[in-house]
Structure 1
Amino acid sequence: MAMLIFAWFGYIGFVHFYIFFRENIKLKLQVWGYDLLLILLFLPNMHFWTSSLGKGSLIFLGISLFAYSMQFPMKRLFAMLLGSTIVFMIRPHMFMFLGIGAIIGYFTGREKVPLYRKLLVYAAFTAAVLMLSDQILAVANLNEDDLTGSFDRFATKRAEGLSSAGSGVDINNYPLPLKLFTFWFRPLFVDAPGALGVFVSFENLIYLLLALKIVDKDFIPFLKSSSSLVKMSLVIFISSSVALSFVMSNLGIAMRQKSMVMYFFFFVIMAFMEYKQLKKMGITKEGEAITNVPRKRLRLV
Structure 2
Amino acid sequence: MDVFITLITNALIIFFGYRKLKKVKSILVKLLYIALFIMHNCAFILNYLNNLKVQKDSYNFYLNALNASKITDLNFIGSQFMSVIVFPFVKLGISYFSISLIFSTLSLYAFYKYFNHFYKMYKNGNYYYFFFLMLIFLLPSLHYWTAGLTKEALIFYLMSTVYFQILKENTNNLIFIIALLLILLIRPYIFIIILISYIAFIMINTVKQNKYKIMLLLLSVSFSIIILKKFLKIDEFNIATIHNRFEHIIDYSSQNGASSIDLKNSNYISRFFLVLFRPLFYDAKDVFQLWISLENLINLLLAVIFSYSILLKNKIKGFFKDNLYVVLSTIFLVLFYSIYLYNLGLASRMRVMFIPYFYILFLTLFFNNKNYDEEKIN
Q: TM-score, normalised by structure 2?
A: 0.65
The answer to which structure has the higher helix fraction is 2
1:61 aligned residue: 157
2:276/2:351 contact within 8 Å kept: yes
Structure number, greater radius of gyration: 2
Cα deviation, residue 238, structure 1: 1.2
- Write out aligned runs for 1:1-12 (5 A): 1-12=98-109
2:318/2:377 contact within 8 Å kept: no
Q: Deviations over 1:2-45 (max 9, x none)?
A: 2211211211222333355456x555698974525521221111
2:231 aligned residue: 139
Cα deviation, residue 73, structure 1: 3.3
Correspondence 1:96 to 2:96: no
1:296 aligned residue: none
2:315 aligned residue: 222
**Relative contact order: is structure 1 or structure 2 higher (C-alpha 8 Å, sep ≥ 6)?**
1
2:340 aligned residue: 247
Using a 3 Å threshold, how does the CA distance of structure 1 residues 159 and 244 change in structure 2: closer, same or farther? farther
The range that moved more, 270-279 or 82-91, is: 270-279
- Write out aligned runs for 1:182-221 (5 A): 182-216=274-308, 218-219=310-311, 221=314
Q: Percent identity?
A: 20
Q: Deviations over 1:218-254 (max 9, x none)?
A: 4384232236552111111111111112221111111
Matched letter for residue 105 of structure 2: W
Give the count of matched residue pairs. 279
Using a 3 Å threshold, how does the CA distance of structure 1 residues 217 and 61 change in structure 2: closer, same or farther? closer
Structure 1 residue runs of 5 or longer lacking an equivalent are 287-301
Structure 2 residue runs of 5 or longer lacking an equivalent are 1-97
2:257/2:343 contact within 8 Å kept: yes
- Write out aligned runs for 1:1-301 (5 A): 1-21=98-118, 25-26=121-122, 33-74=129-170, 77-109=173-205, 113-117=206-210, 119-146=211-238, 148-163=239-254, 164-216=256-308, 218-219=310-311, 221-226=314-319, 228=321, 230-274=323-367, 278=371, 284=376
SS of equivalent to 1:115: coil
Q: Using the alignment, how far apart are the partners of 1:150 and 1:76 within structure 2?
A: 37
Q: Using the alignment, how far apart are the partners of 2:198 and 2:125 within structure 1?
A: 26
Cα deviation, residue 131, structure 1: 2.6
2:76 aligned residue: none
Q: Using the alignment, how far apart are the partners of 1:277 and 1:72 within structure 2?
A: 17
Q: Using the alignment, how far apart are the partners of 1:217 and 1:63 within structure 2?
A: 26
The range that moved more, 163-172 or 95-104, is: 163-172
Q: TM-score, normalised by structure 1?
A: 0.80
Matched letter for residue 11 of structure 1: L
Q: Using the alignment, how far apart are the partners of 2:264 and 2:323 within structure 1?
A: 31
Cα deviation, residue 170, structure 1: 1.9
SS of equivalent to 1:216: helix
Cα deviation, residue 134, structure 1: 1.0
CA RMSD of aligned residues (A): 3.1
